Chains A and B, each alone.
Chain A
Amino acid sequence: MRRAAAWLAMGMAGLALAACSGAQDSLNPAGDQAAHTQDVWRLMLIVCGAMYVLVMAFLGWALWRARRALDGPPLEDAVKSSADAPMRNALVGWTALIILGLGVLAVGSFLVDRSLARADTKDALHIKITGNQWWWQVEYQDPDPSRQFTTANELHLPANRPAILELAAQDVIHSFWIPNLAGKEDLIPGRTNWLTLNPRRIGVYRGQCAEFCGLQHAQMALDATVEDPQAFEAWRQAQLKPAPPPSNDAQVRGQGVFINGACGSCHEIAGSDAHGRTGPDLTHLASRRKLAAGALPVGRDGLIAWLHDPQAIKPGNHMPLVHMSDQDLNDLVAYLQSLS
């Protein structure tokens, strides 16, 4: 029993310790939704913790009393005991306590759920997110078509401005989850789900698919950058532009490899002749932090590793191994690095 208490204490210490880490951490809220949820968590921890301590105390008392009874005379009657009546009262009290505790928790949970449903959506950003095996397509919507743009595996959000996410799936069920911002919501083929975010704290947070979606479920992440409104606007303006044209020989050759080779069949680079729609949009690839849904950092080493053998890094993903010469590979990487 003492051991259990020690474990509980250690667990609490662990929780406290864990609370100060991570970019993918539900106990480190950076948005209203995650903060509200953390309130529920605290309420639960207190009420459930108290109940656990009560049960363990009763058990401890029972065993302590029993150890004494071991030396005493044998039980006179195993069926009837003088303690039955007071114990029955205690049982009634215990039942009432459970009902009370559950009532507190249910009402608390319900109130928070209501507050989540009534989240502030004034002047909200509208973003459509489509889950694919195993990457995220992100489309910033706007009533004006010239202000719409598409990116992949990244989300930029202005702080203190709500964002409404429209969630759809291309193939199987995925689940969108950035724990620092909000709880998860599934992306289901044939349905549309909605999730509202109210990001508050500036920073880069990591999200990950939370519903098992096949071979590379483990490597289906995205980055959410919460930034101040000016920075967001600058980013948006950059995203609205087509890709910059190649500016040196290597980049020109690299663009040729991209368009004449297999790359352009699946990937789009706005402003070039590559118009594939089945893979992630690469128009501003070099401005992103991660490659292949969080598998590698963007940069020369990451790009070379990925293009050299995508199946070694994310076995089974749909980026094929395209055999090419070292020269072509270097040119292609030079071109991709110019897509800022």
Chain B
Amino acid sequence: MSSPCRRLERLAAAALAAALLAGCQRETRDFHGPPPPSGPQASGVSPSDLAAGGGPIGPPHDPRAAIYEDNAFHIGEGKRYYDWYNCYGCHAAGGGDIGPPLMDDQWIYGGSIEQIHASIVEGRPNGMPSFRNKIPDDQVWEIAAYIRSMGGNVAKDAAPSRGDELQSSLAKTQVKPTPAKPAAPTDQPR
């Protein structure tokens, strides 16, 4: 083939590569999860430290969050475990039932992935049980990442679409982002 043509091919490849490199970490499949943190638990904030609607109090930034947030595989696994560990039982498909909704912009205990992880691990007053040791840590992170996608808070190209079931909510690719804000204490659900 003529050389200008090859040059063009290379150019196209380079452009594509640049566009995709940004997104390819979203496709990494790390089956092992990161090693458990040694020493005091990174998210070791006890429930008593948290006031409902308590604003910025919460676990500090966790390096493990980056592995799960915006990773399509982990979010997809989180979707599966959300079902398997029966989060549906209280939160339905994210719209909330006897537990608070997970797809709106009201976050009683914070809406960052670290804060959601902490809420699952530690439990929260008024009915949210602690899943410490009941759900392995990397699966908790996956569930937290999936919950973030319910409110449209993960990258669109990592969010899961519909599942193979009767539909009670939008495909997560179609959810408009809802930036997290703490709820007023009076909004606290039953």
Interface residues of A (CB under 8 A from B): 171, 189, 260-262, 265-266, 278, 309, 311, 315-316, 318, 320-323
Contact = CB atoms under 8 A, between A and B. Distances in A.
Contact count band on B: 10 to 19
Contacts of B29: 316
11 contacts: A171-B164, A262-B133, A262-B134, A262-B135, A262-B136, A265-B85, A318-B80, A320-B33, A320-B138, A322-B136, A323-B137
A79 B135 CA distance: 81
A309 B136 CA distance: 13
Contact of B31 (A260, A278, A311): A311
B32 interface: yes
B164 A189 contact: yes
B136 A320 contact: yes
A138 B29 CA distance: 30
Specify which of A171, A316, A321, A322 lies most central, judged by the most chain B CB atoms within 10 Å of its CB. A321
B4 interface: no
Given A261-B133, A320-B33, 7 more contacts: A261-B134, A262-B134, A262-B135, A265-B134, A265-B135, A278-B84, A321-B136
A321 B138 contact: yes
Contacts of A189: 164
A50 to B, nearest CB: 49
Contact of A315 (B31, B33, B133): B31
B84 A320 contact: no
Contacts of A315: 31
Contacts of B71: none
Contacts of A309: 32
B139 interface: yes
A-B CB proximity, top 7 nearest? A320-B136, A278-B84, A311-B31, A315-B31, A316-B31, A311-B32, A322-B136
Interface in B42-91: 80, 84-85
Interface in B20-50: 29, 31-33, 36
A67 B135 CA distance: 77
Contacts of B36: 323
A261 B36 CA distance: 16
A315 B30 CA distance: 9
Interface in B118-148: 133-139
A214 to B, nearest CB: 12
B35 to A, nearest CB: 8
Contacts of B85: 265
A265 B132 CA distance: 12
A161 B36 CA distance: 52
Contact of B84 (A261, A266, A321, A323): A266
Nearest to B133: A261
A321 B33 contact: yes
Nearest to A320: B136
A189 B84 CA distance: 18
Contacts of A261: 133-134
Nearest to B131: A265
B166 to A, nearest CB: 12
Nearest to A266: B84
B83 to A, nearest CB: 8
A34 to B, nearest CB: 33
Interface string B136-180: 111100000000000000000000000010000000000000000
B55 to A, nearest CB: 32
Contacts of A311: 31-32
A209 to B, nearest CB: 19
A321 B142 CA distance: 14
A266 B137 CA distance: 15
Interface string B90-133: 00000000000000000000000000000000000000000001
